[in-house]
Amino acid sequence: MTWKTLSLFARLSVVVLGIMVMTSGCGPDAKDKKINELNAENDQLKNDLADKDRLLNDAMVRADDARKTIDELNQEMAKLRAAGAGGKEGAWTTFKNFDMIEVPGSVLFESGKADLTSNGRKTLGNLASDIKSRYADRDIYVIGYTDAEPIAKSKWKDNWELGAHRALTVVRALHESGVSYDQLVQANCGEFRPKKVTKSKNVAENRRVEFYAVRRNVAGIEKAEKVSRGTEAAD
C-alpha cells in the first residue's frame, strides 16, 4: 500500500471521528447537517481511494508487461545474433515482431559520461522524426548498454548505474523532440548481454543504445484497463 493510500485511510478515520464527536455535541439541526457533510466527504474520500487503487493496479500491470516484452526482445536478438543476423548500424531493421535500430555509445556520449554530445543530440533528433512519422502507433523501447570495464574515475557507482542514466538521458531527449512519454519505455542492461564476448573487457561494440519499435499488445492493454476499472478479475 502506498503512502498516498495510507494518507486517505487516515483522512477517513478523521471523518469517522468527526461524525462521532458531532453526534454527541450538537443540536439536532446542526448535528444532522454536519453528519451529512461528513458523510459526503467520507464518500468522496472512498471514491478517491478507489481511483488511486485502480491507477496503481493499472501501472503495475503495464510495468509487468514491459518487463516481459524487454526479456522477449533480448532473447530474440540473442538468437538472431547467434544466427549471424542483427540490426544494421544507423538504420532501422525490420524483424518478425519489431523494428530495431542501434546507435553506438560513442556517437551519443563521451567515455564515462551520460550527457549527450552535440552529434548525439542531432542523431536523436533525427531518430525522433523517424519515430513520429513511421512508428507513432508503436511503443519505443530504449535499452542502454555499457562495456564491462570497471568504473574507476567517474561519479557512477558501476556500469549498471551508468547504463541506466544514459537510457534516461536518451528517453528525455526523444521526448524533447516530440515523442510522447506514453510511447517510451526506458530499460537498461549495463555491461550484461554484450554483443561480443571476448577476453578483453573493453569491447567498444558493447557500448550502445538499442531502440525497438514494438507493436502494442492491444489485447493486453484492453485487459489491463478492464482490470483497473474492476470490470474483469485479474488472473
Q: What single string gives the DSSP state of each residue in the chain?
A: --HHHHHHHHHHHHHHHHHHHHHHHS-HHHHHHHHHHHHHHHHHHHHHHHHHHHHHHHHHHHHHHHHHHHHHHHHHHHHHHHTT--PPBTS-EE-SSEEEEEEEHHHHB-TT--SBPHHHHHHHHHHHHHHHHH-TTEEEEEEEE--SPPP-SSS-SSHHHHHHHHHHHHHHHHHHTT--GGGEEEEEEETSS-S---S-S--GGGSEEEEEEEE--HHHHHHHHHHHHTSS---
Would you state the pLDDT for residue 230? 54
Q: Which of residues 234 and 14 earns the better pLDDT score?
A: 14
Q: pLDDT class for 221, splitting at 50, 70, 90?
A: very low
Would you state the pLDDT for residue 44? 78
Would you state the pLDDT for residue 48? 67
Q: pLDDT class for 38, splitting at 50, 70, 90?
A: confident
Q: Taking residues 68-89, what's their average pLDDT?
A: 64
Q: Taking residues 222-233, what's their average pLDDT?
A: 46
Q: Taking residues 115-123, what's their average pLDDT?
A: 95
pLDDT for residue 233 is more than 50? no
What is the chain's mean pLDDT, rounded? 76
Q: Taking residues 194-209, what's their average pLDDT?
A: 77
Share of the chain above pLDDT 90, in %: 34
| Structural domains of the chain, ranges and CATH numbers in brackets | 1-85 (no CATH), 88-221 (3.30.1330.60)
Most confident stretch, 26-40, 125-139, 192-206: 125-139
Q: Taking residues 29-41, what's their average pLDDT?
A: 79
Q: pLDDT class for 223, splitting at 50, 70, 90?
A: very low
pTM higher than the cut 0.85: no
pLDDT for residue 224 is more than 60? no
